A and B are shown apart, each in its own frame.
Chain A
């Protein structure tokens, strides 16, 4: 059993993802903001399932809740669900081709969005106008190959395992 190393790479990638999820976007793109945190988390769960799991997802989600100013626990819940499904699927995910992985990512982030909107309708009594809330899942799935290649490069370059 080798000593785990490179935790700062994981932490930094998650911090950058959180930053990207509050960086201002033009109004026409507001609905299409990719779920950066979920994307990065899915990558780390698949790559290092023995280190990044539901607990890390929960803590990350809590941080994201605080930064985004939403109900405490909302992202913690949805990201834990994503991490759980990721932990169940990681062996299959590693075998898949890029576009197949993107398909799974679409479903995972769709679930993430769905849980988020459930909590929001619970706490804010807002009507969801359309299926527009699934748009981030589509955009994230399209971005998945790029994010995966980038994070894999980081993981190999800094020897995170």
Chain B
């Protein structure tokens, strides 16, 4: 009888939307487990911060100072470019790009199942996190929030086999869909016509279509384009730019374009959800 109850719950996953709310209410129970599971890495982080000699700190300080100088120079240039961009966009009567604000979150767990690329972060609805919110790291797009609890949330990573993200080639604006395939170092672009101008080394950024991810965030670099003469489409693989297996600090993006509607989110998910 309990087996039937379990089967009903699994069936409810398809049929009944309300179950998700029950799930996220229950997931409060999981918070202490994640807190405990994170203790070893917190200890190593603490020792990394507090048990270091003066020499290594000084070296790091020096390196950061240099990095800061370079970045500052870049930012100065960026400011004038942004102003110019805004002016040109005004001339073209098109909407200006708005700055997205971000919230720093820390990774506190990964999915125990190696087939699913889901990570757990330490920010939840109490911090304003919402469903299908985009997540990035310092290098590129990481994924989107799929489940929000009060104090933590789960993020579906772009390489999960149930995830797809609309992208465009930075060089010429060609649009495509980048799908995950269950491997952390690879995305595939599906249905790219054989005549499309796309070569290895092209940068793919989010296109903003679909409404979940704001446009302009780097996603991946094309690694290989193979053309099979018997096939209508190119086989394009790309390597994600975000350090998906190494980043501990992630950024939650609060897009100024507003929270997307549920139909936009559904279009984003692809057929595999």
**Using a CB–CB distance below 8 Å, which chain A residues touch chain B?**
15, 18-19, 21-25, 27, 30-31, 33, 54-55, 58, 61, 63, 66-74, 76-77, 80-81, 119-120, 122-128
Contact = CB atoms under 8 A, between A and B. Distances in A.
19 contacts: A19-B33, A22-B37, A24-B109, A66-B27, A67-B33, A69-B118, A69-B120, A72-B26, A73-B5, A73-B12, A74-B6, A74-B10, A77-B6, A77-B7, A81-B3, A119-B10, A124-B162, A126-B116, A127-B161
Interface string B81-124: 00000000000000000000000000001111111101010000
> Which of B6, B12, B112, B113 has most chain A Cβ within 10 Å?
B6
Contacts of B120: 69
Nearest to B29: A66
B112 A33 contact: yes
A73 B29 contact: no
> Which of B3, B8, B36, B245 has most chain A Cβ within 10 Å?
B3
B2 interface: yes
Given A77-B3, A124-B116, A124-B162, A71 B147 contact: no
Contacts of B10: 71-74, 77, 119, 122-123
B13 interface: yes
Interface in B191-231: none
Contacts of A127: 161
Interface secondary structure of A, over-half rule: helix
Interface of B: 2-3, 5-10, 12-14, 19, 22-23, 26-27, 29-30, 33-34, 36-37, 40-41, 109-116, 118, 120, 147, 154, 161-162, 182, 245, 272
Contacts, number: 103
Contacts of A70: 113
B8 A73 contact: yes
B147 A69 contact: yes
A27 to B, nearest CB: 7
A71 B255 CA distance: 29
A125 B2 contact: no
A8 to B, nearest CB: 16
Contacts of B2: 54-55, 58, 76, 80
B74 to A, nearest CB: 33
Given A73-B6, A122-B10, 14 more contacts: A54-B2, A58-B5, A61-B6, A67-B30, A69-B27, A69-B154, A70-B113, A72-B26, A73-B5, A73-B8, A76-B6, A125-B162, A125-B272, A126-B182
Nearest to B19: A72
